[in-house]
Structure 1
Amino acid sequence: MATALVILAPGFEEIEAITIIDLLRRAKIDVTVAGLTEGPITGSHAITVVPDASIDQVNHQHFDVLILPGGQPGTNNLKTNSKLLSWIQERFTRGQKLAAICAAPTVFHAAGITKNLKLTSYPSEKEVFKDSHYLEQPVVKDGQVITSRGVGTAIPFALSLIDELKDKQTAKTIAERILFEGQL
């Protein structure tokens, strides 16, 4: 069974996080939600989520993909977590999948893995990626790294993760079930 680790920090973007978690679980992907801290995590719009574990209780190597929802101040909280930055560097070096949406691709930049990488992010973060190949597309995949732009692209992002972790047919089936009319 495919596995995904979604990391939540205080101030995460709720729509992005829940969309990813929900759609991946509909696709029968084993999703573990880990908080930067133990206990409930409150998002940027005062919605509280109870993670399955904290990052101190999981081994990122046991997952097919590590996923970062965006939002502020959530993204800034992710960027200051040395354990997470180390995990990102390690996964990138080993060719393991990484995914981020909205402002969260800047966490990849903070980890030092974005040079010459094709990626996208929330538009206000574009200037961070001067050494990358920035694309204004809903979802960008470059090797093992998948990035997306924000709340409005959360569904295509989650569907692309399903395509990557399972197959295109599963992604199409989920898209049909949720009445998604965009392109995969």
Structure 2
Amino acid sequence: MKKALIFLAEGFEEMEAVTPLDLLRRAGVDAKFVSLSGNLMVTGSHGVAYRADCLFDVKEAQTADMLILPGGMPGSVHLQEDETLGKLLCQFHEEGKFVCAICAAPMVLGHLGILKGKKATIYPGMEDKLLGATPVAELVCTDGNVVTGRGPGAAVPFALTLVSLLEGPEKTAALKESIVYQTV
């Protein structure tokens, strides 16, 4: 079973965390919320508190296939300040494992040098935070093992992209049908 970890820091964007967790689990991925706050309860940028599945443990996290960073403020700043998470993201990138971020969180990948020479997207107006990348205005951008999403409105397509990368197009098509997902 594939394993994906979604990192929650105080002030994360709720839609960008919950949507990937939900859709990955529906697709059969072992997806978990991981708290960086030192407590299992983490509050999002809109005041909604969520209970993480576990606290951040590097050895456990190294067994995952994919790391996911939801955006939001100040959540993205807190993600960027966590040096242990930064080292893990760099390790995953170097190993060719999936490193994913949406909304403001791609700034973390830019700060770490992960976006150098890649195309990436980020919340409008933050393109200067995509250090080393060629900014694109797509809802979701996949370049090698790096996936970036534009903002809360991209949460479903971002999550479906993650499902496709881990579980393939057939499972993704079935999931789209089951949630009645249609593009307009």
**1:46-91 deviation digits (Å, cap 9, x = unpaired):** 1000101111375222011000010001000101000011111111
- What whole-Å deviation, never above 9, does each CA across 1:147-168 have from its counterpart, x for those lacking one? 1101101000000111000011
Matches within 5 A, 1:31-180: 31-37=31-37, 38-56=39-57, 59-129=60-130, 131-180=132-181
Q: State the distance in 2 between where 1:27 and 1:68 align.
A: 19
Measure, in 1, the Cα distance between the counterparts of 2:157 and 2:59.
27
Alpha-carbon RMSD across the aligned residues, in angstroms, is 1.3
Counterpart for residue 12 of structure 1:
12
In structure 1, C-alpha distance between the alignment counterparts of 2:98 and 2:130, rounded to whole Å: 20
Distance 1:61 1:95 in 2: 13
In structure 2, what residue type is equivalent to 1:102?
A: C
Q: Distance in 1 between matches of 2:10 and 2:157?
A: 24
Any stretches of 5+ residues in structure 1 without a counterpart?
Answer: none
Secondary structure of 2:10's aligned partner:
coil
Measure, in 2, the Cα distance between the counterparts of 1:130 and 1:50: 32
Secondary structure of the corresponding residue to residue 67 of structure 1:
strand
TM-score, normalised to structure 1, is 0.95
In the alignment, the residues of structure 2 paired with residue 59 and residue 133 of structure 1 have an alpha-carbon distance, to the nearest angstrom, of 33
User: Could you tell me how far apart the structure 2 residues matched to 1:177 and 1:12 are?
Assistant: 27
Give the aligned length.
Answer: 183
For residues 129 and 32 of structure 1, what CA distance do their matches in structure 2 show?
Answer: 27
Q: TM-score, normalised by structure 2?
A: 0.95
Q: Once the 2 structures are TM-superposed, how far is the Cα of residue 143 of structure 1 from its aligned partner?
A: 0.7
List, as ranges, runs of 4+ consecutive aligned residues in structure 1 with deviation greater than 3 Å: none
1:28–1:148 CA distance, 2 compared to 1 (3 A): same
- Do the aligned residues in 2 keep the contact of 1:85 with 1:110 (CA within 8 Å)? no
d(CA) in 2 for partners of 1:58, 1:171: 30
* d(CA) in 2 for partners of 1:82, 1:19: 26
What are the Cα deviations for residues 112-165 of structure 1, in whole angstroms up to 9, with x where unaligned?
Answer: 211111111111211222521111111111111011101101000000111000
